[in-house]
Structure 1
Amino acid sequence: MSIFSGDSRSTWADAFIAGIPYAVASGMKVTELGKGTVSLYQPARDTWTGDSELQMIHTGCLSVLADTACGLAVGAAMDTPEPIATLDLRMDYLRPAMANTELVCKAECYRLSRSIGFVRGQVFQIGQDEPVATVNATFMRATANTRRKDMAAAAPAGADAKAALTPTQAAASLSSPASIEPSPVFISQRADVPESLALPPGRSPYVDFLDIHQQMQIDAGPIFRLPFKRELIGNPVLPALHGGVLAGFGETAMILHLTNTNPAIKGVPRGIDFAIAYMRSAKPADTFVQGTTVRQGNRVALVQVSIWQDDPQRPVAQARGHCLMPRDEG
């Protein structure tokens, strides 16, 4: 039996967005909603610029918007809301998204089984007929939805567990948001390692927003650190970092890995596609990533990244993607 009417589904969707710190910080808003379909709007901001010289939106911003929209589509496909978690997400970047433009992701849950939701969607720049990216994602249903008692304990499978609350429960959770602080038990094991900003300030406003630091240069390539801040939370109930933020961090590390391991290249590699698989929820703590070049040709490179928190041997997610290498005009 469905508890959703048209009005209650809209109330739930608005509460869903309002309960996600990252979505609130980015100004996301549901503009259309149906049974298993959603259009999610994100306003233009200079913060989303990935390259100040080329004036392009960082592809990680598209991933966060797409992941959020896909989660909404799964929730909107259900007769009774329940917790869900992103299992995997794949982005294909069809053309560059120009900076300081509004975005909308249109997502559809086209198959909802007893255990899994399957979603596809497209990301558009407002006013443009052709999409800048496509997304395909899968979500696990009926995941854990209780607040962590011990931050050092093993987390349940599925990195971006989203609480699909009833409209009444969602509204109540907004009136008394839980405090989200990093666990003192879960302090970075590499906190004493010398590090620097991954890029000079202003080079990439999105990298500045994430405050990514580069820790060490070793044979396999540098390690990058994403400091925890509340705006990166995707599930305030567990709590857990937003799965789209992990994707954006992984995509950033993929590009930075190529520029660090290819110092002779002129320009910045550009993402062609990106696929991420989530293994466990990411706690409210500093997060690390390291990349490996799987294959590099004259025009295209394939990079794999591993994302972890307390233990490199227990990654919270793993991802890989193809990048278009800058042309040598010389």
Structure 2
Amino acid sequence: MSIFSGDSRTTWVQAFISGIPYAAHSGMQVVDMGKGHASLLLPARDTWTGDTTRNLIHPGCLSVLADTACGVAVGCALDEMEPFATLDLRMDYLRPPVANINTICRAECHRLSRSVAFVRGELFQLGQAEPVATVNATFMRATANTRRKDLKSAPTPSEAAANLIAPTSVESSHFITSVAADTPEVPALAGGRSPYVEFLNIHKQAQIDAGPVFRLPFKSELIGNPMLPAIHGGVLAGFGETAMLLHLIDTNPGIGVPRSVDFAIAYMRSAKPVDTFAQCSTIRQGNRVALAQVSIWQDDPQRPVANARGHFLMPREEE
């Protein structure tokens, strides 16, 4: 994350938000702050809609807002500014978030150890007394913040597919084993069904081996750390959650869009400003709830940038 040491806390927060391309692009605003806590507002936009049929915000938008607000809370808790990065993030969705309504995340850094910061928060929509979601996150303190030297030109979809190799760990053994270099791909959803998925421009490769691979094309407004640079951790969370939703739709033909119950992501390393890939599996599926997991990588599926799991409420037939 971009750190502006030496500034006052208020000046630092404003510089922090304006310095994050994704936060600036989405219009996030600081509405309250103090020692160890901060509140951020995400202005309503049609773009954030995840389900036009039910008029709901995409849960990935809440994850990006929560990750950003939690990061600001950590910065507000520090006496001296230093670089830090998200280790993991958990979202619990308490009720469906309505589209085209402003959303606020109130985050508090409740424990600051020598190496790790612990943050919790709640997300509200204007006009509602009860939160729509809660967040718990941990951040590693004093991380590297020098410009990365591992950047190469972004691979094309066919180049990335040609480089994929079989994972060897037990945890990831159900994921992809091979992909032909000429694997075709299509937009992940039909136009108009989910504006946020269209904003991310997620594409799906043809059904292969254990299931389709989803691709998140890189664009500059997805950057969360302009110093490294690196893709916003909240964007990775939104991509991973989207991939799991699309996977469940793919493996349950004819159903509506599942609804997120909870979501947890662990970050392995910072994501370079290149195309990002994801593949999912269903761990367990009952009549009403499914548990899915996703591996997110860039140039090698054996070196994921993040792994995530989530519970999803499956639509009833009449829904």
Report the TM-score, using the length of structure 2 for normalisation: 0.90
Q: How far 1:30 moved relative to its partner? A: 0.6
Aligned counterpart for 1:271 among listed residues 257, 260, 263: 260
Partners of 1:309 and 1:315 within 8 A in 2: yes
Aligned counterpart for 2:295 among listed residues 283, 286, 306: 306
Is the deviation greater in 209-218 or in 107-116? 209-218
Q: How far 1:231 moved relative to its partner? A: 0.6
Deviation >4 Å, runs of 4+: 185-188
- 1:184 corresponds in structure 2 to 153
Q: How far 1:201 moved relative to its partner? A: 1.2
Q: Determine the C-alpha separation between the residues in 1 that align with 2:138 and 2:15.
A: 22
- 1:294 corresponds in structure 2 to 283
Q: How far 1:328 moved relative to its partner? A: 1.6
Q: How far 1:186 moved relative to its partner? A: 4.9
- 1:257 corresponds in structure 2 to 247
- After superposition, the CA RMSD in angstroms is 1.6
Aligned counterpart for 1:317 among listed residues 292, 297, 306: 306
- 1:137 corresponds in structure 2 to 137
Q: Deviations over 1:262-282 (max 9, x none)?
A: 114x21110000000000000
- 2:35 corresponds in structure 1 to 35
Partners of 1:117 and 1:141 within 8 A in 2: yes
- 2:233 corresponds in structure 1 to 243
Secondary structure of the equivalent of 1:184?
coil
Counterparts of residues 171-210 of structure 1 (less than 5 Å):
183-184=152-153, 186-188=155-157, 189-190=160-161, 192-210=182-200
Q: Determine the C-alpha separation between the residues in 1 that align with 2:182 and 2:82.
A: 41
Q: Determine the C-alpha separation between the residues in 2 that align with 1:142 and 1:207.
A: 34
Partners of 1:210 and 1:226 within 8 A in 2: yes
Partners of 1:92 and 1:133 within 8 A in 2: yes
Specify the code of the residue in structure 2 equivalent to 1:217. Answer: Q
Q: Deviations over 1:184-217 (max 9, x none)?
A: 2655512743100000111100000000000121
Partners of 1:4 and 1:79 within 8 A in 2: no
Q: Determine the C-alpha separation between the residues in 2 that align with 1:141 and 1:273.
A: 26
Report the TM-score, using the length of structure 1 for normalisation: 0.87
Change (3 A) 1:121 1:185: closer
In the alignment, structure 1 segments of 5+ residues that lack a partner are 152-182
Q: Percent identity?
A: 72
Q: Deviations over 1:44-68 (max 9, x none)?
A: 0000000111100000000000000
In the alignment, structure 2 segments of 5+ residues that lack a partner are 162-180
Q: How many residues align?
A: 295
Change (3 A) 1:185 1:223: closer
